[in-house]
Amino acid sequence: MMPRRGFASVTAIGLAGLLAAGAMAAEQDAPSSFSVEDGMSVTLDYTLTADGKTVESTSGQGPLQYVHGRGQIIAALERALAGLHAGDEKEVTISPEQGYGQYNPSLVMEVEKRDLPVGLQPKPGLVFRYADEQGRSIRATVKQIKKTTVILDGNHPLSGKTLNFKIKIVGIEPAPPPAA
């Protein structure tokens, strides 16, 4: 038979272990004390709608991760997320001016097929990049194909649209420093 003192010591050690394990589990379950601010790596789930239609969603894709303050998402959205914590949900509406700008008809152009990048097989809806006369990279969407020409649209597909985001912050942690 074990002496009484030994039993009490074993019980105290066991109880201390249970309390420590419980404290560690509580720490792991506790929400992060970090908030969305510059230099933080933010993981979020979102659904973006425009004109009542879903444009993008992380549903079934896995969350989006970005570093706050590095211009990796729309500036107006970045400002709206500042100060949020893991678990927070927010709906954000962004005007065309704060999103991708107003639709600019002057960015729609008709070009000769022979002037398209070599090997490009144009079809309506195709998005590609090309260099303009000044060497700038231009993104264009093929809108229409004619006999010898193609109608291209240089506007962002979401230009002129009000963007509606439903966001849930999944996690926040310090980001690694930017690559030099």
For 84-112, the pLDDT digits (tens) are 999 999 999 999 999 999 999 999 999 99
List the strands of the sheet with 149-153, edge to edge. Answer: 108-112, 149-153, 137-145, 127-131
Q: What is the DSSP letter of 39?
A: T
**Structural domains present in the chain:** 40-101+159-174 (3.10.50.40), 105-153 (2.40.10.330)
Summarize pLDDT for 141-166 with one digit per residue, the tens: 999 999 999 999 999 999 999 999 99
Q: What is the DSSP letter of 101?
A: -
Comparing 47 with 116, the larger pLDDT belongs to: 47
Summarize pLDDT for 15-68 with one digit per residue, the tens: 344 334 444 444 444 455 899 999 999 999 999 999 999 999 999 999 999 999
Structure tokens, 123: 């079809």
